[in-house]
A = this chain, B = another copy of it.
Amino acid sequence: MQPLDAIDTAILRAIQQNGRISNADLAQRVGLSPSACSRRLDILEKSGVVSGYYARISPKALDYRMIAIVHISLSGQFAKTLAEFEAAVKLCPNVLVCYLMSGEYDYILRIAAKDLEDYERIHRDWLSALPHVVKINSSFALREVIDRPSIGV
């Protein structure tokens, strides 16, 4: 991937804020003709810099008002242990993010729940049932300060 110039950067910034902007408007905003802008965007999409377009659904509007951050430790780091855990965690729709980590805990999860009672259900029926888990540590978000879809460019 060749480095991005100022115009590519401006394109990325624009479509990151508005994924449904038309090519004509985008071109005007970055100071390019529609054809040139379309060519650049095409390259950015085909090269994988733009990996897709998504609608953002507000969790609150769907009545998901709680965000929990959960640290999990497993009984070992064998490949089979990790694979089985990951296959199981992928089945839980409340898990928004899951990272395999270095350090004290093996996994960090971000989980959406409707309320504390809902979280208790998730904890009981999903988290505690995950294979190879030996330690679960939950904490709760009091406020969302930043939530960017990607790095600022």
Contact A94 B61 (CB under 8 A): no
Q: How far is the CA of A20 from the CA of B45 in the complex (A)?
A: 13
Which B residues are in CB contact (< 8 Å) with A139?
101-105, 108
Contact B57 A56 (CB under 8 A): no
Which residues A6-28 have CB closer than 8 A to chain B?
Answer: 12, 15-20
Which residues A55-74 have CB closer than 8 A to chain B?
Answer: 55-59, 61-64, 67, 69
Contact B142 A18 (CB under 8 A): no
Q: CB of A147 within 8 A of chain B? A: yes
**Interface size, A (range):** 35 or more
Q: Tell me how far the C-beta of A85 lies from the nearest C-beta in chain B, rounded to whole angstroms.
A: 9
Q: CB of A35 within 8 A of chain B? A: no
Contact A93 B151 (CB under 8 A): yes
Q: Which residues of A line the B interface, CB within 8 A? A: 1, 4, 12, 15-20, 47-59, 61-64, 67, 69, 86, 89-90, 93-105, 107-108, 112, 139-153
20 A–B pairs (Cβ distance < 8 Å), ordered by A: A12-B57, A19-B55, A20-B20, A49-B62, A51-B56, A51-B57, A54-B55, A56-B149, A57-B151, A90-B146, A93-B152, A97-B147, A98-B145, A98-B146, A100-B142, A101-B139, A101-B142, A107-B145, A108-B139, A149-B149
